[in-house]
Structure 1
Amino acid sequence: MIQVTEAAVKRIRTLMANQGVVGGGLRISVKAGGCSGLSYVYDWASDQRDGDQVFESSDGLKIFVDPKSYPFLKGTVLDCDENMLGQSLVFKNPNASTSCGCGSSFSV
């Protein structure tokens, strides 16, 4: 399961509105790369693909995860961090043994 905090839902909804995204949801995947070996990748998705795991927030926001990425993301909490530089999505991944300083890549 992937959990999405209320702060992350609010941030994602704001980004969707700013970019004119209507319907669908956020697709999260893991790709080889980054300073720690694996990188988080996310983009807008109009609908579910074959084999996707789909998670839905209480307000109906959908998160799509492909079957190859799910084992790396299982148990992850997607949150929103706010600091002087602005807001960013943060992955709190219990499967990561290490992660880079910026939080965009990890290793298992």
Structure 2
Amino acid sequence: MAVTITENASKELQRFKENSDYSADSVLRIGIVSGGCSGFQYDFKFVEPNEINEENDTISEQHGVKVVVDKKSSLFLDGTTVDYYEGLDKRGFTFDNPNAVKSCGCGSSFSA
């Protein structure tokens, strides 16, 4: 499995989805796009089921959240864990990517 979603992240994703205009069938797409200060940025969004390409995408369900990762992104994200952190100093999703050689200070971009 390319990407693992922690239980804590799943709870926050489900809460966000319920409080947004996404359909109950929407799935979480995790991928990468070129950009950011380190070369690649994480692409993290809900999409509708008709946007899934079964030949190109890997689909899994983790803690009640359906997750889709395209083949190209999975090469860069293999072994990545997505967690949700909430503390006094910061709050948000974190990506622990073992393939990242260098990351930016904000944690939203990396180079491999």
Q: Map 1:1-108; keep pairs closer than 5 Å.
A: 1=1, 2-21=3-22, 22-47=24-49, 48-50=52-54, 51-59=56-64, 61-84=65-88, 87-108=91-112
Give TM-score, length-normalised by structure 2. 0.87
Aligned CA RMSD, in angstroms, stands at 1.4
Q: TM-score, normalised by structure 1?
A: 0.90
Amino acid at match of 2:59: V
Same amino acid, percent of matched pairs: 39
The answer to whether the 8 A contact 2:38-2:104 is kept is yes
Runs of 4+ in 1 over 6 A off after TM superposition: none
CA distance in 2 between partners of 1:73 and 1:6 (Å): 19
- 1:12 CA displacement: 0.4
